[in-house]
Structure 1
Amino acid sequence: MTPTTAAGSYYERVGELRFKPTAHAGGAWADDEQHFSPVGGLIAHAIEQHVADSRPGSGLAVARISYDILGRIALDECEITVETIRPGRTIELLEAVLSIGGRAVTRARAWLLTSLDTSSVADSSVERLAPPEEFEPWPMDELWPGGYIGSVEVRRRAGAVPGRSAAWIRTPLDLVAGEPSGALASYLALVDTANGIAVRQSPTEWMFPNTDLTVHLQRQPSGDWTGLDTSVSFGPDGHGVTSTVLHDVHGPVGTAAQILTVRPLPGS
């Protein structure tokens, strides 16, 4: 399938549960795959819609979402189904499955917790990330190829070293054409970028794709910017971890982690 070249979004809805990626969803490791960042946002969008339809006014909010990447995510039409695994009045567990060609390629589980006012005890020992205007514009597409990378604005903190960096990311594009996305889905659509902002080895010599993404949230994010304070570690046996403290312009939001499979790039 040839992806659409719609200028203003990562996906177009083509059915109740089906979405067609645009060229902007193109991956960094292969041009016929989807980058997982918009995929993660699309799944969160489907979860938010499921909650709005099945539990309107419930006050439930996503506190953790974990994605398992089961295989290659082709740049092709995808279908997302969402079901409730553990129903509850104040705690609920949902599962979303993204399939392409009838095969599940990503499975996500989201814990939803009830919302209540705890502002009197709200606090964190995590230092706030400096605001985006104090970071430098960074042409990420000079390091990474792909439609998704070319679609985002990145500002990175000066002094980045291999395996350690911080950046702010935003996009002018909608997640799904012609329909609004919640703040969480829009935020999560940029989080997987963390694995590319603090590379430990050149992606022209080594591959280190992630096979999962797990996000824990202490509060719901807001605003256009996704802040990533990221560390990347490689072990001696072909495994690695990308660990990120998540921010918005108001302060820390939570954490994200990605497990990596590290291997030499064929032919390098």
Structure 2
Amino acid sequence: MAYWKRTGAQTFMPTEHVEGSWDLEDQHIAPTLGLLAHEIERDRDRRRDDALVVQRLSYDILGTLPLEEVHVAVEVLRPGRTIELVQATATHGGRAAVLLRAWLGQPRDTGDLAGSELPAMPRPDDLEPWQMSELWPGGFIGSVEIRREDRGPGRARTWVRTAHGLVEGEEVTRLAAAAGLFDIGNGLAVRADPQRVMFPNLDLTAHLFRTPVAGWLGFDTSVSFGPAGVGLTSTVLHDEQGPIGTMAQSLTVRPWPAP
């Protein structure tokens, strides 16, 4: 079973694998982020044949989404021959819930310049399986396979993959499939017990210098909490060939009320 079923040209119904963690009645936002990336790429390919490369995915999470049908609209904010800024919006009941602004650029051969000094990750087989569902509930968490190295509060190195497609019956790029897992980063390296402290993210921005290849997706993650209810989850993203970019999520840190 995929995460989404298309119900119309711009509408999608979530499956049980989209069930959230903070509230089981709401969607986990991760598959929605992948869906918006998928629709931006489909829109690009309908409009042009030069396969612009996605360089940045910047999401703003305006509110929660129930486990009900969503509508996705795509518009080009900054058209161009070699660079575009494209926006996708997920709405429910006429209310915008997630915005994605993506920069796309013309591909060029820079193979002789390629390289990165970002630190390497251990191989997936070198890390132990982790049952994330023992810490986080919900259908989305139950849909993924994880290998993880716990390096202390707010610090972990993790590999994640899923056997489930993003949209039922549709070809999805590796980028869109990976984007559907990005938001799990905020739950991989917890700094505080989520039974005592809520720390949902308000946004997610991924800067990519290479398109991920198929297989495991790696998260080298650090979580920081400030003194005034603000936090930050910072991740170096990897595939099995090495680093592919970086990701940041701004957190609102909310201690649970005392019983």
How far 1:121 moved relative to its partner?
A: 0.8
In structure 2, the partner of 1:163 is: 154
Q: How do 1:144-155 residues align onto structure 2 when only pairs under 5 Å count?
A: 144-155=136-147
Q: Which residue of structure 2 lines up, in the alignment, with residue 210 of structure 1? A: 201
3-state SS in 2 of match to 1:120: helix
User: C-alpha distance in 2, partners of 1:130/1:119?
Assistant: 25
**Are the equivalent residues in 2 in contact too, given 1:26–1:32 (CA < 8 A)?**
yes
Instruction: Give ranges in structure 2 of 5+ residues lacking alignment.
Output: none
What does 1:3-14 align with in structure 2 at a 5 Å threshold?
8-14=1-7
Does structure 1 residue 225 correspond to structure 2 residue 197?
no
Cα-to-partner distance string for 1:183-235 (whole Å, 9 max, x where unaligned): 10001111110100100000001000001000000111111211000000000
Name the TM-score, length of structure 1 as normaliser: 0.95
Query: Contact 1:187/1:225 (CA < 8 Å) preserved in 2?
Result: no
What secondary structure, in the 3-state scheme, does the structure 1 residue paired with 2:80 have? coil
Task: Kindly indicate whether residue 122 of structure 2 is the aligned counterpart of residue 137 of structure 1.
Answer: no
Letter in structure 2 aligned against 1:89: R
Q: Assess if the C-alpha contact under 8 Å between 2:44 and 2:51 holds in 1.
A: no
RMSD: 0.9
Letter of the 1:201 counterpart: A
Q: Secondary structure at the match of 1:188?
A: helix
The percent of aligned pairs where both chains have the same amino acid is 51
Residue deviations 1:146-199 (CA, integer Å, cap 9, x gap):
110011000002x43110001000001010111121110001111110100100
Structure 1 position 113, deviation (Å): 0.7
CA distance in 2 between counterparts of 1:255 and 1:126 reads 9
Using the alignment, how far apart are the partners of 1:97 and 1:266 within structure 2? 33
- State yes or no: 1:100 paired with 2:129: no
How far apart, CA to CA, are the structure 2 residues paired with 1:135 and 1:188? 23
Gaps in structure 1 of 5+ consecutive residues: 1-7
Match of 2:234 among 233, 240, 243: 243
CA distance, structure 2, for counterparts of residue 65 and residue 35 of structure 1: 18
What is the DSSP-based 3-state SS (H/G/I as helix, E as strand, rest coil) of the residue aligned with 2:184? Answer: helix
How many angstroms does 1:145 deviate by? 0.4
Residue 22 of structure 2 is matched in structure 1 by 29
CA offset digits 1:38-78 (Å, max 9, x no partner): 1111111111101111112x131110010000111221100
What is the CA–CA distance in structure 2 between the aligned matches of 1:215 and 1:77, rounded to whole Å?
Answer: 26
Tell me whether 1:112 sits opposite 2:101 in the alignment: no
- Asked if 1:181 is matched to 2:172, the reply is yes
CA contact (8 A) 1:66 1:214 kept: yes
The separation in 1 between residues aligned to 2:106 and 2:138, in whole angstroms, is: 38
TM-score (norm 2): 0.98
CA distance in 1, matches of 2:225, 2:41: 34
Match of 1:87 in 2: 79
Structure 1 stretches of 4+ moved >6 Å = none
Encode CA deviations 1:114-167: one digit per residue, 9 max, x unaligned: 10110101111112212111111000000000110011000002x431100010
Is 1:200 aligned to residue 182 of structure 2? no
Counterpart in the other structure of 2:118: 126
Distance in 1 of aligned mates of 2:78 and 2:45 = 17
Aligned partner of residue 175 in structure 1, secondary structure:
coil
Whole-angstrom distance in 1 between the partners of 2:257 and 2:75: 40
What is the aligned length?
A: 259
Partner of 1:41: 34
CA distance in 1, matches of 2:173, 2:51: 14
